[in-house]
Structure 1
Amino acid sequence: MSDSKEVGKKQLGPLGHLGLNHVPLALQVFFLTVCSVLLVVILVKVFKIPSSQGQEPSSQEVYQELIQLKAGVDRLCRPCPWDWTPFQGSCYFFSVTQRTWNDSATACQNVGAQLVVIKSDEEQNFLQQTSKTRGYTWMGLIDINNESTWHWVDGSPLTLSFMKYWNKGEPNNLGEEDCAEFRGDGWNDTKCYNKKFWICKKPKASCPSK
């Protein structure tokens, strides 16, 4: 009886199944082949790439994609930043806080702009009306270097044609008033250390033509 039990133990695998050594070689090969085929089928289904995508794109297709990409980029181009207001060929930033004239000029320089320099009557009217709804606002006009000789921050002098925009009785230089502001319907000279709103100006960016 002990011999028959030993034989039975040798015929059973570790989990109570027949050991693989007792399966015919042909059946083993068949089993491994089926498993391999199933594995290949699964891998193909998981990683299969449509034949249309697997083809090498032609130069014409690449060119068309580049054209579409460029058109998308062009549409993103803005002549003025989001928080700036366009007018004619320039962009204007109207502040929502108040600073001294010097600090306002520095704030504009930090964003690649200047305190506004007025070049036309149309621009003056646009800025005057916009400032009127906001409050007293700095412009880039001063006479610090030479009293009563007003010039813009770009170095250009104030021409006679713009003298009409001073409010009545201004500029009066009452107590060293060397900086100009938009006030009401015209301009006023005031102390540069007072805190006002301000306007920055810079040219519009060049966007590709549509």
Structure 2
Amino acid sequence: MMNGQGRVSPGSAAPTEERGCSWLNIWVFLICALAIKAAIGTLCLWLVVPFCHSSDQPSALQQQFSEWECDSAVPQGTDRGWMCCPKGWRRFQGSCYFLSTDMMSWDESARNCTGMGSQLVVITSKAEQEFLSEQIRQSKEPKRDNSYIGLFAEQEGQWQWVDKTPYNMTAAFWPKGEPSEGYDENCVIIYRDTELPNNWNSVRCLNYHRICEAAAVTV
């Protein structure tokens, strides 16, 4: 109620203009908060995609790399829309591959892959075999050629994969005359210049390039 001098009596409602101003301030605050949240979400998506889902335990691969490359290749019907590999790695289907430019022995290569949260590649299909062979052949890096895979023999002729995947001779990619016998050749490379897809060669476990593999991160 207004008194005779135009002041508001205690307990009376504030003028309409003042209430409108208060609501305007609230809306401005909410819009700003939403804009900031959206900006943070976008930053999370593009800079550190694999770590945005805090409910997931980071994989060994995630713990080793901070730069990632992602694309929207996750199958429809899943609740995630991106598949990611460390920057510089190659993706094929659900795996990420690192093709080295330096050379190491087989044991050193296996340890190097493990140290990056991956393993020497285990090839389980013709499509994967052809993809990796083409990646080696098409590489612009002249030093990248014959590369170790994760197949080895502790004793001659007893081939096994590093992750204990059963070795199947009928699903292997040996050319005629391979694997060699009697030459202490207990490690396997993809040989760059052999006709596809049968381009595995057994070799002595000396220094070669390597291919590491890890599961792609989906977010």
- TM norm. shorter chain > 0.5: yes
Q: Distance in 2 between matches of 1:75 and 1:101?
A: 36
1:125-140 equivalence runs, <5 A: 125-132=130-137, 134-140=144-150
Q: Deviations over 1:87-111 (max 9, x none)?
A: 1111111100111000011110000
Q: Does 1:159 align with 2:205?
A: no
Partner AA of 2:39 in structure 1: Q
Q: Does 1:110 align with 2:115?
A: yes
Q: Distance in 1 between matches of 2:163 and 2:104?
A: 20
State the partner residue of 1:12. none
Any idea what SS the aligned residue of 1:124 has? helix
1:69 to 33, 37, 40: 40
Partner AA of 2:187 in structure 1: C
Q: TM-score, normalised on structure 2?
A: 0.63
Aligned length: 150
Cα distance, 1:82 vs structure 2: 1.2
Of 65-74 and 90-99, the range deviating more from structure 2: 65-74
State the partner residue of 1:188. 201
Q: Distance in 1 between matches of 2:207 and 2:103?
A: 5
Partner AA of 2:209 in structure 1: F
Cα distance, 1:65 vs structure 2: 1.6
Structure ID, larger Rg: 1
Q: Distance in 2 between matches of 1:200 and 1:156?
A: 16
Q: Distance in 1 between matches of 2:204 and 2:174?
A: 16
Report if aligned partners of 1:132, 1:182 keep a CA contact under 8 Å in 2.
no
Q: Deviations over 1:139-177 (max 9, x none)?
A: 000111x431211100112213323x1121011134211
1:40-51 equivalence runs, <5 A: none
Partner AA of 1:142 in structure 2: F
Q: Distance in 1 between matches of 2:137 and 2:218?
A: 30
Unaligned runs of 5+ in 1: 1-54
State the partner residue of 1:89. 94
Cα distance, 1:60 vs structure 2: 4.6
Q: Distance in 2 between matches of 1:178 and 1:158?
A: 14
State the partner residue of 1:48. none
* Higher share of residues assigned helix: 1
Any idea what SS the aligned residue of 1:80 has? strand
Q: Distance in 2 between matches of 1:175 and 1:149?
A: 14
Any idea what SS the aligned residue of 1:129 has? helix
Q: Distance in 1 between matches of 2:42 and 2:87?
A: 20
Superposed structure 1 runs of 4+ greater than 4 Å apart: none
State the partner residue of 2:22. none
Identity between Structure 1 and Structure 2 (%)? 32
Any idea what SS the aligned residue of 1:58 has? helix
